[in-house]
Amino acid sequence: MPDWRQALHLEPPRGWLNDPNGLCCFGGLYHIFFQYCPADARGAGPKLWGHYQSPDLLHWTFTGAPLAPDTPWDKGGVYSGCAVAEGGVMRLYYTGNVKHPGAHDYIHTGREANTLLVETADGVHVSPKKLLMTNADYPADCSLHVRDPKVWREDGLWKMVLGARSLADAGRVLLYHSEDGLAWRLARVLEPAPAFGYMWECPDCFALGGRTWLSLSPQGLPHGETENQNVYQSGYFALDGGIETGTPGPFAEWDKGFDFYAPQTFETADGRRMLIGWMGMPDADYRNPTADLGWQHCLTLPREVTPGPHGLCQRPARELDALADGAPVTVDGILGGIPLPCRLNATAQGAFALTLASALELSRATPEAPVCLRFTDEALGGGRTVRRAPVDAGPLALTMVVDRSSLEIYLNGGAAVLSTRFYPGDGPVPLAVEGLTATVQPLRPMTFTGL
């Protein structure tokens, strides 16, 4: 059986993983919580929060599932949220989902979306849960789809953004203020006209490069050949004027690949803005064969986010450099097998083609064309087909991180990114390049304990 367990990416020990939650630096450790369904690899059971921690983003310990749906406010699932370090503890804000039995559409009737808070000093032991808001506390013209709190402190206030769907099926963000992080009041409803999708999930507001940015995952956008190619999208707006009064600029997607959704950012102790996403896609028409083996999905690598000439750029966290294992190998033509995991760096002056595992093609037809990621074998891609990423015309720089069942492809310094799962068979994974100058750098696996 092929070894599809990842060497660089966080996965569930068993069962299902989706949204990253509660990302923060606290107590000298990085903490990553995530949506977790240990009972079923297809996500059919109760949703909990799982928890990983690390001193350096390279050595990870799974500590278990500190949050479970065990109150009347979250009995349908512990849904997404965030972490804020405050007074020697992490405050974990999240959505408690409740679905009532009956003939409901769960948009206008039959659902509760409660905003809850717990505290933890270690990511393992949590305080009793506090109910902060219910649907009665949200605007009257919201549907029952209100979720995914992201909380931060700014200008002497606690601030929270929630993703929502209006009764008119328009995506929106609700901004709340608080003096103590407990009692909240509505400050703004941010909803562009005309509507931009019918639902906004996983909002995240942060400052970077002298500007305010609003990240979110909108649902219901029209699809195009190079834009919004997935079922749902994840991207960001610049909010010149800030979250209080700013108007969203053009929408830019975080990732053009098959598998990326529900990202969240956090700030490292040394001031870097880091992003982690779910390397998956809800309601997709492709599959992940590891579900038959008892687990499914992973998170992306931590990515450093920096301002770029056309928006925001991403690159793998610099900590990954410490995993370099030996000298890079130059590739000119065909390499019979590459080590997994590895990092490939390449440049192209014009058209190029790269083929991995004989059936995954990354190419560019002309120096002005989009970069195309295409599977030519149904089994290798689990039903994935093609995705395209527009990039600036001219020479191209490429970095590809290849794990045992995933690729993260960064183009022109991360101005565009393509992420996908892939499932090679037993034996060597061949690589062929044409029109590229490329090197392959073997990487040591990260360390995972507590699984």
Question: Active-site residues: which are they?
Answer: 19
Q: Which one, of 80, 184, 177, lies nearest residue 132 by Cα? A: 184
Residue with tokens 């310094």: 413
Residues 135, 146 contacting (CB under 8 angstroms): yes
Cα 137 to Cα 183: distance, rounded to the nearest angstrom: 11
Q: Residues in the chain, how many?
A: 451
Contact (Cβ atoms closer than 8 angstroms) between residue 306 and residue 421: no
d(C-alpha 73, C-alpha 278), whole Å: 25
Task: List the 416-421 sheet strands across, edge first.
Answer: 329-331, 437-442, 342-348, 396-402, 406-411, 416-421
d(C-alpha 323, C-alpha 11), whole Å: 19
Name which of 257, 204, 264, 205 is nearest 233 in CA terms. Answer: 257
The Cα–Cα gap between 242 and 70 comes to 37
φ, ψ (nearest 5 deg) of residue 194: -70, 170
Output the six-digit token pair for 261. Answer: 């959704």
